[in-house]
Amino acid sequence: SQQGEEDPQALSIQEGENATMNCSYKTSINNLQWYRQNSGRGLVHLILIRSNEREKHSGRLRVTLDTSKKSSSLLITASRAADTASYFCATDGTGGFKTIFGAGTRLFVKA
Amino acid sequence: DGGITQSPKYLFRKEGQNVTLSCEQNLNHDAMYWYRQDPGQGLRLIYYSQIVNDFQKGDIAEGYSVSREKKESFPLTVTSAQKNPTAFYLCASRPGTTRDEQYFGPGTRLTVT
């Protein structure tokens, strides 16, 4: 089952522009995480936001969480060609230890 | 270097053969996970283990088996019962029972013909 659903499925922007990806989920969560995956590689953790937090920053990344709407967004500012990758949101529920991943947003940054 | 290793990177097998994918971590993490990823898709959980000698089925466990005899190792066997085994397999770990981020290995791409 997939709890996190990302939107859009694919995004193409010019270098220097901002990229925004959204994630929606269905059940109560303990935290929400964003991961990045370069083609053919493993996932790399980017940022984790807990259910009692509303916004978090890490370098050029900004994540927001709205638990009332069961949604999160990931903003990458001043994008670079090296940001080209797939981005996944993942949620940990309030019960159990399974992390559920969405289908991902494929970001392409043109130089 | 600390981290998770998966071997081999590419694996080719004939239909009807069982195959075992290796996953080793030296992060001293208690929990380990196996995921399957199909082209253009997200990750689906196959099995997970929170402690040694214990593991739980994930969402798509049919046709797969695991063992967790050592904290560092969590091998995955893809059996001949798995109807569509060609995929990218990812192993991950995280500390104890905390619900923090997972650390991923580089993946094994399995092709069955």
Is B43's CB within 8 Å of A43's CB? Answer: yes
Q: What is the DSSP letter of B86?
A: -
Q: What is the pLDDT along chain B (113 residues), one digit of tens a residue?
A: 569 999 999 999 999 999 999 999 999 999 999 999 998 888 999 999 999 999 999 999 999 999 999 999 999 999 998 999 999 999 999 986 667 889 999 999 999 99
Strand partners for B64: B78
**CB pairs below 8 Å between A and B: how many?**
61
B69 and chain A in contact, CB less than 8 A: no
Average pLDDT over residues A65-91: 96
Is B101's CB within 8 Å of A45's CB? Answer: yes
d(CA A67, CA A28) in angstroms, rounded, equals 8
Query: Hey, how many other C-beta atoms are within 10 angstroms of the C-beta on B69?
Result: 10
B55 and chain A in contact, CB less than 8 A: no
Task: Indicate which of B43, B47, B57 best probes the interface with A, i.e. most A CBs within 10 Å of its own CB.
Answer: B43
Phi-psi category of residue B40: left, alpha or beta, with phi > 0 → left and psi -120 to 50 → alpha: left
Q: What was the pLDDT predicted at A96?
A: 62
Q: What was the pLDDT predicted at A4?
A: 66
Which amino acid belongs to residue B2?
Answer: G
| High-pLDDT (> 70) share of chain A, % | 93
d(CA A50, CA A32) in angstroms, rounded, equals 6
A93 pLDDT exceeds 80? no
Is B43's CB within 8 Å of A97's CB? Answer: no
Average pLDDT over residues A72-92: 96
How many Cα atoms within 13 Å fall on the side-chain side of residue A24?
A: 6
Residue A101 in contact with residue A90, Cβ under 8 Å? yes
Is B105's CB within 8 Å of A42's CB? Answer: yes
Q: What was the pLDDT predicted at A3?
A: 58
